[in-house]
Amino acid sequence: DTGVSQDPRHKITKRGQNVTFRCDPISEHNRLYWYRQTLGQGPEFLTYFQNEAQLEKSRLLSDRFSAERPKGSFSTLEIQRTEQGDSAMYLCASSFGTGKTSGINEQFFGPGTRLTVL
C-alpha cells in the first residue's frame, strides 16, 4: 500500500489552457474526493465519487471543471480554459465506506497537485 498518489505534483500553465490531474487512491478504497486549497486557507470540497459514480459536486465546481472515475479506481480532474483564479493546490483523498453515513470513513490524502496559472 503506497497511499494516495497524485500526478503531476506541480503544473504551470498559461491562462486559457486545459489541464488534467490524476489521482490514484488506496487500492481497496471505494470513495474518492477532490478538494481545492488556496493559499492561507483550508481545503474546500469539490466533488465525491463512490466507485465510478459521481454523487456530489460543490457549487465551487464550475462548468469548466470535470471529474471522472471511469473504472472506480483512479480519477482525473480536468480544468478547461484555465483562469488565474484556478491557481491552487488540488488535493485528492480516498476512504472506504458502505452505506450512507457508516463509520468514521477516515479520508487519506495525497500530496496534492499545485497549479499555477500565469
Question: With respect to other proteins, which residue has the nearer C-beta, 4 or 19?
Answer: 4
Q: What's the DSSP call for residue 104?
A: -
**Does 51 help bind other proteins (rule: CB under 8 A)?**
no
Tell the smallest beta-carbon distance from residue 16 to other proteins (Å): 27
Q: What's the DSSP call for residue 98?
A: -
Binding mask 10-29 for other proteins (x = CB under 8 A): --------------------
Tell the smallest beta-carbon distance from residue 34 to other proteins (Å): 10
Query: What ranges make up the beta strands (E) of 25-86?
Result: 31-37, 44-50, 53-57, 65-68, 75-79
Maximum pairwise Cα distance, the chain: 43
**Cβ distance 74 to 5 under 8 Å?**
no
Work out which of 19, 21, 32, 33 binds other proteins, going by CB under 8 A: 33
Work out which of 13, 26, 45, 68 binds other proteins, going by CB under 8 A: 45
**Does 44 help bind other proteins (rule: CB under 8 A)?**
yes
Work out which of 56, 62, 78, 83 binds other proteins, going by CB under 8 A: 56
Please state, in angstroms and as integers, the Cα–Cα distance from residue 114 to each residue in 56, 83, 100, 101, following that order.
23, 14, 32, 31
